Amino acid sequence: MKRFRLPACLLAATIPSLAAAQSGPVFSANPTKPRFLLHEALGSPANLRISGSFRPRAEGIANQFRPETFARNDILNSYLTTLFVEYETGPLRIGGELFDSRGYFQQRNSSAFTTEINALEPGQAYLALDLADGAGEGTKSSLTVGRFTKNIGSRRLVSRQQFRNTINAYTGISYDWQNAAKDRLTVLWTMPHTRLPDDAQGIRNNDIAFDRESLDLQLFGASYTKAGVLGGTFEMYGYGLLERDSGTGLRSVQTRDRRLFTPGLRLARAPKLGAFDYDLEAIYQTGKARETAAATDRTDLDVSAYFLHAEVGYTFDAPWRPRVALQYDHASGDGRNPNRFNRFDTLFGARRFEYGPTGLYGPVQRANLISPALRLEVTPSPIWDAFVAYRPLFLETPTDSFGATLVRDRTGRSGRYAGQQIEGRIRYWIVPDAMILDTGVAYLIKGDFLRNAPNAPDTGNTFYGYLNTTLFF
């Protein structure tokens, strides 16, 4: 019986572009032939995997788009360090990973929060049982119990962050299955981690506090992907989210008491030289939630929200392998009906790969958004790639806040036009498979809404830039 291993850290899990093997230069931001310097230093034991990474980043923002309570101009020097260890004994694997996310030099009223800073956290600590073909001839499967990270499907709902300075992690159980035809199934029940500390002083001081998991926040569901459909894959899934307050005392956590069911469908085809590719995803969201997390807000609202993504690209069989893509994103916003809540919730999804850098930036997210986009990618060689993208921005509902900006006009008089975003990025392997440089910029040209809404800041267009290097060891 042949045994199969599904890596628990899932760093190379399916990404939205479905970067499959193809002719011509192929770029990967993760080491294709890891050097395992730590592993070699320990004598390269066959049953032990050990590796890590260190990523310093400098980023800055000028002319803040968030309300006046946030710093008009800000900088952040952040560091992300990871250390992964896995010991294999027969079909059982025992693994763990430390995350250390720190930040320095930001303003006292910086937007930097738990998405940037989470010092010294044991993000993964699991037991994984490789079941090989125990679920049928030609199948491969594994069962993971404990703390782990996860990428599923497009990563728009469940993800392990790659750009953000902190990483989503979950405590629970996950079953992963694949057959000879490359059909895949994931079933999971988890308690997502709440990152701590979450107070301004603790974040500024990079205080160490272990993250919290409890039955007060649960994520569960399943995803099934069928291979070989229209030259690509077809995915169907459904996720449940249960959330409740943890009490009423001084150390309690107040929430919006979300009780959501989020089903979706996705049809996608990988980019390939001299061919069209596509990514079509439709997600609906229903259930109950409250408008705010205030302890005095006891009104349960009916949830009805949705998200649509459509993308068509073409990769030219030419030097630098240029790919041109047209994209469209549509996410519902909260309307005027006081008895319903219509703002889409992206759960634990990532967004840098579609909407630009996060960190001190990140105005665009899957909420109250209508946005077409044009994107050009080039891959001159396996050691570097680049892209530029242009994206007009509109509100789906003029009375709701736009994206992640916190800017809102409850009257709707500021209109639907939020502005335009232009961004670009270059990645370059300074030392192939050992050290990579990543740098990018984003320019937000503010429209009527981001200029005229009642709590919009009196600033000009927003400029953001970052530079980071990652060392793999």
pLDDT-derived band at 35 (thresholds 50, 70, 90) equals low
The string of pLDDT tens digits covering residues 328-375 is 999 999 999 999 999 999 999 999 999 999 999 999 999 999 999 999
| 60 vs 442: CA distance, rounded Å | 11
CA angle, corner 154, sides to 151 and 160, nearest 5? 25
367, with CB counted inside 10 A (0-12, 13-18, 19+), is: buried
Q: Is the pLDDT of residue 211 over 60?
A: yes
Q: How many CB atoms are located within 10 Å of the residue 404 CB? A: 20
Domain membership of residue 141 (yes or no) is yes
Domain membership of residue 20 (yes or no) is no
| 356 vs 365: CA distance, rounded Å | 9
In sequence order, the 6+-apart residues with CB closer than 8 A to the CB of 249 are: none
Domain membership of residue 68 (yes or no) is yes
92, with CB counted inside 10 A (0-12, 13-18, 19+), is: exposed
State how far the alpha carbon of 276 is from the alpha carbons of 175, 271, 325, 382, 391, in Å. Answer: 33, 7, 9, 21, 21
| 349 vs 366: CA distance, rounded Å | 9
pLDDT-derived band at 253 (thresholds 50, 70, 90) equals confident
| 76 vs 243: CA distance, rounded Å | 32
| 320 vs 380: CA distance, rounded Å | 4
Cβ atoms 91, 3 nearer than 8 A:
yes
Paired strand residues for 25: none
Domain that holds residue 385: 37-472
Domain membership of residue 32 (yes or no) is no
Domain membership of residue 43 (yes or no) is yes
Q: Is the pLDDT of residue 402 over 80?
A: yes
Domain membership of residue 385 (yes or no) is yes
Q: Is the dihedral of CA 63, 468, 116, 189 positive or negative?
A: positive
CATH of the domain at 300: 2.40.160.100
In sequence order, the 6+-apart residues with CB closer than 8 A to the CB of 80 are: 53, 54, 55, 57, 99, 100, 101, 165, 166
Cis peptide bond N-terminal to 319, omega within 30: no
How close are the terminal C-alpha atoms of the chain, in Å? 33
Domain membership of residue 22 (yes or no) is no
The string of pLDDT tens digits covering residues 159-200 is 999 999 999 999 999 999 999 999 999 999 999 999 999 999
Closest CA to 285 of 150, 155, 157: 157
Q: What is the pLDDT of residue 365?
A: 98
Instruction: Please provide residue 332's backbone torsions phi and psi, each rounded to the nearest 5 degrees.
Output: -70, 150
Q: Which helix (H) or strand (E) holds 39?
A: helix 37-41
Domain count, the chain: 1
What string of H, E and C letters represents the secondary structure of 77-131? Answer: EEEEEEEEEEEEECCEEEEEEEEEEEEECCCCCCCCCCCCCEEEEEEEEEEEEEE
| 401 vs 333: CA distance, rounded Å | 8
| 62 vs 44: CA distance, rounded Å | 48
Domain membership of residue 9 (yes or no) is no
| 379 vs 391: CA distance, rounded Å | 21
Closest CA to 57 of 147, 15, 117, 136: 117
The string of pLDDT tens digits covering residues 4-32 is 444 444 333 333 444 443 457 889 988 88
Which of residues 224 and 13 earns the better pLDDT score?
Answer: 224
Q: Is the pLDDT of residue 376 over 60?
A: yes
